[in-house]
Chain A
Amino acid sequence: MPEILVLVDHTDGAVHKPTLELLTLARRLGEPSAVFLGPGADSATEVLGRYGAHKVYVVDAPEVGEHLVTPAVDALTQLAGRTGAAALLLPSGPDGKETAARVALRLGSGLITDAVDVVPGPDGPVTEQSVFAATYQVTAHVTRGVPVITVKPNATAPEPAPVTPLVEKQDVAFGPASAAVRVLARTPRERGDRPELTEADIVVSGGRGVNGDFTVIERVADALGAAVGASRAAVDSGWYPHRHQVGQTGAQVSPQLYLAAGISGAIQHRAGMQTSKTIVVVNKDADAPLFELADHGVVGDLFEVLPQLVEEIRRRRS
């Protein structure tokens, strides 16, 4: 079975859900090995094994925390060489994509970013991507070297396939500090009581129509067990933190249900949500373009429609 390297996305050993999705996809292509950078591998090994990582390569060196991106590039490039891996899978965030790009350049390999699916094919892995603001689906494959692929969250549902992983500590020769970028401070993203935006099954988003107060959106989100999203207009107005922005330059989400309230539906926003399975729109402007995508729409005041929705959810559940 060919070895597939998966870069682990974690916070101090707490493995994030997209990594489990990568391991699940990697099993279609071969035998997954997890590449764990930084401290905390002990607490991650069990979950990595549960999702099918036969090996866990651990690189715990000070450079990993001190420098941006390049330590991961050094580690993955050298591990790819040592293991003869058949493919590398990374998460599709800024860190994962930049790491993948530089690894591919060093390996003389091809690169595919933002895959929403990966399946085995006659010439190596075949990827699916959503492009042009998610109006097109494209399938592609790498034609040179060891394929390096970044995968978006929610590309597949994580499926357990328990094994007891072999843990191997690996030494890596890091590049010169002069070409590195120093990390002066790091503030891990707070993982609050609500699901992560890109990982959630349900996302409830608010836009300009919310007019400053996201409490109404949060109440619907909590009633549905959903993550909270926001349009760029709402974020730019300072109503909600940027990490909740859905759209071309924010998070691109593909949940089972996307509920948009007070969002007109500019291309910038549609690019981040139109692959959602079910879309519900509440807007007082009947001409809002987002209604074109809606499976169900309510033309009305969100401050009346949403509280009634929350009340009705409670009634139906009691």
Chain B
Amino acid sequence: MKIVVCVKHVPDAAADRTFTEDGSTDRASVDSLLSELDEYAIEQALRIAEADGADTEISYLTVGPDDARDALRKALAMGGDSAIHVSDEGIEGSDAFGTSLVLARAIERHGFDLVLCGMASTDGAMGVVPAMLAERLGVPAVTHVEGLTVDDGTVSGRREGDGATVSVQGTLPAVVSVTDRSGDARYPSFKGIMAAKRKPVETLDLADLGVDPAQVGRSGARSAVDTTARRPPRTKGEIVVDDGAGGAGLAAFLTARKFI
């Protein structure tokens, strides 16, 4: 089985993230790393490969500037076989439509039985790229699931949807996204980190994928940011140390704010 895991190199969610003047995410001012939610997708790919034996091949795919390669190295250190890095100045400023187009073309070029994604990136956080990929590839979208199983040409999982928990199943080939409840991701071993340095990483650009630059980047974006403003910092209120009347004091506060 051929598995492609989509990963993203994102600004550290624990850092103070900002925007550039044109309303894009500022990727220069903070350290970037592999999006934490992608680690769950990598983990599921590795578990499928371990259950399946030598017949499964795992490739990682990322779209981004030069340093996005770091995300691929981290993924390869966890396990898997090879990686594809799509890098092109024309991609800068892409929205989910542009990103999903580039990913879909790269996945088609590589070939796949299963595409695995995290539930969302930790920066854009829209969580729509897996659905767009399935739409573009014309395959089932088994999205936002935990309890993933791949068996006899089908893929199944449990999804916490909008108003219900549903058990879902699709036939392969398929696009799957897994939540942060799908199973804890492993840490790369020292051996894994060393081995990752020798694993092949292919670099492609838009021309290699036959993607029209007008369809991606800022020129292909279908929405525009008008303003970005930092929320005013919350004013820290009164913090009292409980002297035996903390609960009553809290009730007085809530009464003053008309919650009681």
**Contact residues of A with B, CB < 8 Å?**
9-11, 16, 68-70, 73, 91, 93-98, 100-102, 104-106, 109-114, 126, 130-145, 178-189, 202, 224, 242-243, 248-249, 256-257, 267, 274-275, 278-280, 282, 286, 291-301, 304-313, 316-317
Check B19–A97 contact: CB distance below 8 A.
no
Check B251–A316 contact: CB distance below 8 A.
yes
Q: Which of A142, A189, A248 contacts B222 (CB under 8 A)?
A: A142
Smallest Cβ-Cβ distance to A185: which chain B residue: B167
Q: Which residues from B are CB-within-8-Å of A98?
A: 127-128, 130-131, 141, 143-144
Check B247–A304 contact: CB distance below 8 A.
yes
Smallest Cβ-Cβ distance to B253: which chain A residue: A296
Smallest Cβ-Cβ distance to A73: which chain B residue: B135
Alpha-carbon separation in the docked complex, A292 to B144 (Å) = 33
Q: Known pairs A140-B225, A145-B222. 4 more at Cβ < 8 A? A: A186-B166, A187-B165, A297-B237, A307-B247
Q: Which residues from A are CB-within-8-Å of B247?
A: 298, 304-312
Check B165–A109 contact: CB distance below 8 A.
no
Alpha-carbon separation in the docked complex, A133 to B30 (Å) = 15
- 28 A–B contacts, CB within 8 A, in A order: A70-B141, A93-B162, A95-B162, A98-B128, A98-B130, A98-B144, A101-B128, A109-B222, A135-B17, A135-B230, A136-B19, A137-B231, A138-B228, A186-B166, A189-B165, A224-B260, A242-B160, A248-B122, A257-B259, A295-B237, A298-B240, A298-B242, A299-B242, A304-B242, A304-B244, A304-B247, A309-B247, A313-B260
Task: Let me know if B126 is at the binding interface, CB within 8 A.
Answer: yes
Check B163–A188 contact: CB distance below 8 A.
yes
Alpha-carbon separation in the docked complex, A57 to B159 (Å) = 27
Q: Which of A101, A110, A179, A291 contacts B239 (CB under 8 A)?
A: A291
Q: Which of A97, A112, A292 contacts B127 (CB under 8 A)?
A: A97
Provided the pairs A105-B132, A141-B223 are in contact, do residues A278 and B144 lie with their beta carbons within 8 angstroms? no
Task: Let me know if B119 is at the binding interface, CB within 8 A.
Answer: yes
With both chains docked as a complex, state the minimum distance between the C-beta of B177 and any C-beta of chain A, in angstroms.
Answer: 9
Interface residues of B in 147-198 (CB under 8 A from A): 156, 159-171, 179-181
Task: Let me know if B200 is at the binding interface, CB within 8 A.
Answer: no
Alpha-carbon separation in the docked complex, A117 to B171 (Å) = 38
Smallest Cβ-Cβ distance to B97: which chain A residue: A105
Q: Which of B142, B161, B230, B260 contacts A136 (CB under 8 A)?
A: B230
Check A137–B141 contact: CB distance below 8 A.
no
Q: Which of A68, A180, A280, A317 contacts B250 (CB under 8 A)?
A: A280
Check A292–B234 contact: CB distance below 8 A.
yes
Task: Let me know if B236 is at the binding interface, CB within 8 A.
Answer: yes
With both chains docked as a complex, state the minimum distance between the C-beta of B140 and any C-beta of chain A, in angstroms.
Answer: 5
Q: Which residues from B are CB-within-8-Å of A9?
A: 162-163
**Complex interface bits, B238-260 against A, C-beta within 8 A gives 1, otherwise 0:** 11111011111111011101011
With both chains docked as a complex, state the minimum distance between the C-beta of A102 and any C-beta of chain B, in angstroms.
Answer: 5
Task: Let me know if B55 is at the binding interface, CB within 8 A.
Answer: no
With both chains docked as a complex, state the minimum distance between the C-beta of A61 and any C-beta of chain B, in angstroms.
Answer: 18
Alpha-carbon separation in the docked complex, A109 to B95 (Å) = 12
Check B132–A249 contact: CB distance below 8 A.
no
Check B169–A305 contact: CB distance below 8 A.
no
Q: Which residues from B are CB-within-8-Å of A282?
A: 246, 250
Check A298–B246 contact: CB distance below 8 A.
yes
Check A68–B166 contact: CB distance below 8 A.
yes
Q: Which residues from B are CB-within-8-Å of A138?
A: 23, 225, 227-229
Task: Let me know if B226 is at the binding interface, CB within 8 A.
Answer: yes
Alpha-carbon separation in the docked complex, A224 to B95 (Å) = 42
Task: Let me know if B125 is at the binding interface, CB within 8 A.
Answer: yes
Q: Which residues from A are CB-within-8-Å of B143?
A: 68-69, 94, 98
Q: Which residues from B are CB-within-8-Å of A134?
A: 231
Q: Which of A96, A188, A202 contacts B164 (CB under 8 A)?
A: A188
With both chains docked as a complex, state the minimum distance between the C-beta of A66 and any C-beta of chain B, in angstroms.
Answer: 11
With both chains docked as a complex, state the minimum distance between the C-beta of A208 and any C-beta of chain B, in angstroms.
Answer: 17
Alpha-carbon separation in the docked complex, A143 to B97 (Å) = 13
Check B242–A305 contact: CB distance below 8 A.
yes
**Complex interface bits, B198-240 against A, C-beta within 8 A gives 1, otherwise 0:** 0000000000000000000000011111111111001111111
Q: Which residues from A are CB-within-8-Å of B163?
A: 9-11, 16, 93, 188-189
With both chains docked as a complex, state the minimum distance between the C-beta of A227 and any C-beta of chain B, in angstroms.
Answer: 14
Q: Which residues from B are CB-within-8-Å of A91?
A: 162
Q: Which residues from A are CB-within-8-Å of B169?
A: 181-182, 184
Provided the pairs A181-B141, A242-B181, A304-B242 are in contact, do residues A144 and B222 lie with their beta carbons within 8 angstroms? yes
Alpha-carbon separation in the docked complex, A197 to B168 (Å) = 25
